[in-house]
Structure 1
Amino acid sequence: MSESSSEYETKKRAIFEGMSQRGQKRILRLGYENWDPFQEPKDPREQILGTVYVKADTIVRQFYAANPTNEGACDFHKDLLDFAVSLLRGERRAQILHEFCNWFQGNRGE
């Protein structure tokens, strides 16, 4: 950091005081000392091109290749991709949906 510590704190305080009450409360709840108003924003391309998304896209494309007669599956590409990402991340919602699909498939003949 090329700025002196006092300049940094002065600018930080000025930004904080220029915020709305709601914004200030949020910063105080998270911790003013931990807040960095000069932090670089996150690049949305990182999320899109992250390893989980690439792996999920590969899995969905493998699904298409394994089921060429199921032409309608491509219409739900975004849903399939989101579901695959959720499964890879270990999200509970996706796990429950997967368990339900397996259960339903097993009880279908009843």
Structure 2
Amino acid sequence: MKGDNIRAHEAERLLSERDRRYDLFPSEIFDEFAWNMLLHLFVALEKNETMSEVRLCELSHAGSAAGRRWIAHLVKDKQIEARSDGDDVVLTGGAVDRLRRYLSKPSRAEIDVGDETA
């Protein structure tokens, strides 16, 4: 969809920001595995890449067991398509739409900075 390249860039920026935290703080205080998974899947979708369960868990800083539990939860919550073990992980259409809306809106910090320059 038009604009997904910009949205994917925003998702990558958010993920990069999150990764920087892991360099400075214990990972246990930043366990947002499900959100990281959704962002990584959106970026993969825009790049027309597939995402394996193993790679998704790795990128999301989740161990294998925790990652599988989060994937199962996201399937139950209809954010990820139902799948068999070993299949690639894919967002549902509804999750893609919600991520597009989220990633299209400017952050509060961007709004505040814009107000100061006016």
Same fold, judged at TM 0.5 (above):
no
Give TM-score, length-normalised by structure 1.
Answer: 0.30
Larger-Rg structure: 1
- Which one has the bigger helix percentage? 1
TM-score, with structure 2 as normaliser: 0.29
Ranked by relative contact order (alpha carbons within 8 Å, sequence separation 6 or more), the top structure is 2
